[in-house]
A and B are shown apart, each in its own frame.
Chain A
């Protein structure tokens, strides 16, 4: 059966890039997961029956600055790529990678301090359970982002990334901006409101 019903309608037919729509779906699902963890954290503030409290936390201002600025540097990298300026793109991409790695390393040191010096583990009390789960869930997302960036970095080193790859890298950057936005919520709850 012939299906060309409207050959005269040769108007432009543009649909959104599937990768981007898919990533918005991922963001919707992840947001719902984070909401549940955030609600659990907020619900249990001050309800621990024993052990350390939020007083032992140090506000990670430097790490927050690193993570938030990494969103900006990733945007700069993509702008470079859209212009076809691969040098600017690679430079900013590696800066972003470094900022993300700094954030993750900082979290590692923070946790080491909490576990070794303060004796707070996920098993200690409700604060420990909710804190490590929420911050850990976010840190896991940073790790995923870092892995994605490292894969791209490997292609950059082999000089395989061109302007044609912009839509794909935009999907990664969408994810990365989401991880940053989640950190704003987590930071506000855990280090500002929750103390």
Chain B
């Protein structure tokens, strides 16, 4: 078989052109991740500014106006332009390799959705320039990331800031929906010979589950944004309370998106953990079919829990009870998964490299985050704690303690594959310990001002309520995490030049991406692979004792 290789690009414009016009799933994946890292820094700076303002009571570091803009932009950026593109980036890069495919099912559509996401992010930040409109009514949106009606109506946001917010989410939402469709089509139609559904790596299963959930979650948000645009541009009344429109309806529509969205982010995190833990425990995944079933169940149940964000709005007792029960039910499949990961590690020959350290951190912290989740699932608890810093601490615990830890684990695990060089283990350990310490100083302590009654989204507070010391320590924790992120980014940059050559399979792993060179060629596999078990590379390395005899 002959392969016609394109000559390497010569000038930097040619190289730029080749990246901008690429339809290669690996390049698109890398661009997604770099894009997410860029916005991670932007969203991180916004968080740092807020913590600076809250460091002392009656501080005047930023104005109340700017503070509202900061928490709106921080939330919107982190969810839509950091977490989502990060996950889609990893899925884009890895999933086709893992199922032995040469690309996604629709490569050009793949590039199209990436550029939609880019355009969405730029639109949001263009509001800093264009948001003024003709009214002098502020620049960046300041309605909070959930943009409760009727604050977003023309009567209350006269400038263009809400227009940029809604357009940006509409555009990037289309990008996410189209990518999800692409992922599903790839998983179901592009698997290599022999890879039945039950033999796919868990990563592929969870990518598909996440994509189904993303479609069902983001489409309602898209519909709600269309309605908001009808209101703002055509003079409609969907959320116009003066003409009989309902503010609560927007809440329902937003949270029908908002809660499953959390699972859209955590399910790929589960995917990373499910690939890394077995390799670093030197054992097969414990309870593969149960893991698949539990993931699908989480996705299913997560579609009917949204109104636990609305206990304080005042629903009927039966509605409250329904959402309490469904929300608590999520703990069951999640618990199953945690036990399965622990059982995978049990008795294994564990290697404590950076990816595994982050996985272990994930397990402990995600469990704690889940426990405060069960607390908040109870409606009477939420009546006390709703809209306080306890809630902020809870969901940051899930996102930083869970999702981001899993993302760091994935970065270190697949970095040698993508870049072809090994990261610095010493810097990675510094990153791990600094981040874990900073995380716990910041978010363990943040629960306490919440319990003491400190509401979220206030730009400053009175001294003498017992909140000062906690806010100060939370700020210190945030700074430590900032340093950890700098170490991480430095490690990525430095190791790309100075790291030792990785070889194709540095971890002695078992899934198909490690059968390609590092970085993999544009066509992934010269001949399409044929597999017989869930660990094709194990079969290859141990022909005397292949897995398919036991599966």
Residues in chain A near residue B100, CB distance under 8 A: 3
A9 touches B223 (CB 8 A): no
B212 touches A6 (CB 8 A): no
B540 touches A3 (CB 8 A): yes
B181 touches A22 (CB 8 A): yes
**What is the CA–CA distance of A3 and B515 in the complex, to the nearest angstrom?**
8
Neighbour of A133 across the interface among B177, B188, B194, B230, CB < 8 A: B230
Residues in chain A near residue B345, CB distance under 8 A: none
Residues in chain A near residue B185, CB distance under 8 A: 18-19, 21-22, 25
**What is the CA–CA distance of A34 and B194 in the complex, to the nearest angstrom?**
38
B540 touches A129 (CB 8 A): no
Residues in chain A near residue B297, CB distance under 8 A: none
**What is the CA–CA distance of A81 and B191 in the complex, to the nearest angstrom?**
29
**What is the CA–CA distance of A21 and B191 in the complex, to the nearest angstrom?**
14
- How far does the Cβ of B204 sit from chain A's closest Cβ, in whole Å? 13
Chain A 9-46, CB-CB to B under 8 Å as 1, else 0, gives: 10001011111011001101111111111001001100
Number of contacting residues on B, CB 8 A? 55
Contacts A32-B223, A35-B220 hold; do A126 and B191 have CB atoms under 8 A apart? no
**What is the CA–CA distance of A1 and B510 in the complex, to the nearest angstrom?**
13
Chain B 191-226, CB-CB to A under 8 Å as 1, else 0, gives: 101100000000000000001100110111011101
**What is the CA–CA distance of A129 and B244 in the complex, to the nearest angstrom?**
12
Interface of B is mostly: helix
B234 touches A32 (CB 8 A): no
Residues in chain B near residue A19, CB distance under 8 A: 185
Residue on A nearest B245 in the bound complex, by CB: A126
B245 touches A18 (CB 8 A): no
B527 touches A4 (CB 8 A): yes
**What is the CA–CA distance of A13 and B100 in the complex, to the nearest angstrom?**
14
Chain B 511-533, CB-CB to A under 8 Å as 1, else 0, gives: 01001000000000101011110
Neighbour of B188 across the interface among A21, A40, A44, A122, CB < 8 A: A21
A-binding segment of B119-127, B235-243, B315-323, B415-423: B235-243
* Residue with the greatest number of chain B CB neighbours at <10 A, chosen from A18, A31, A49, A133: A18
- How far does the Cβ of B46 sit from chain A's closest Cβ, in whole Å? 30
B215 touches A28 (CB 8 A): yes
Given A16-B189, A33-B220; 11 other pairs, CB 8 A cutoff: A5-B529, A6-B531, A6-B532, A13-B194, A21-B189, A28-B219, A32-B216, A33-B223, A48-B243, A122-B235, A123-B235
* B contact set with A: CB distance below 8 Å: 100, 105-106, 177, 180-182, 184-186, 188-191, 193-194, 211-212, 215-216, 218-220, 222-224, 226-227, 230-231, 234-238, 243-246, 249, 253, 256, 504, 512, 515, 525, 527, 529-532, 536, 539-540, 548
* A contact set with B: CB distance below 8 Å: 1-7, 9, 13, 15-19, 21-22, 25-26, 28-37, 40, 43-44, 47-49, 122-123, 125-126, 129-130, 133, 137
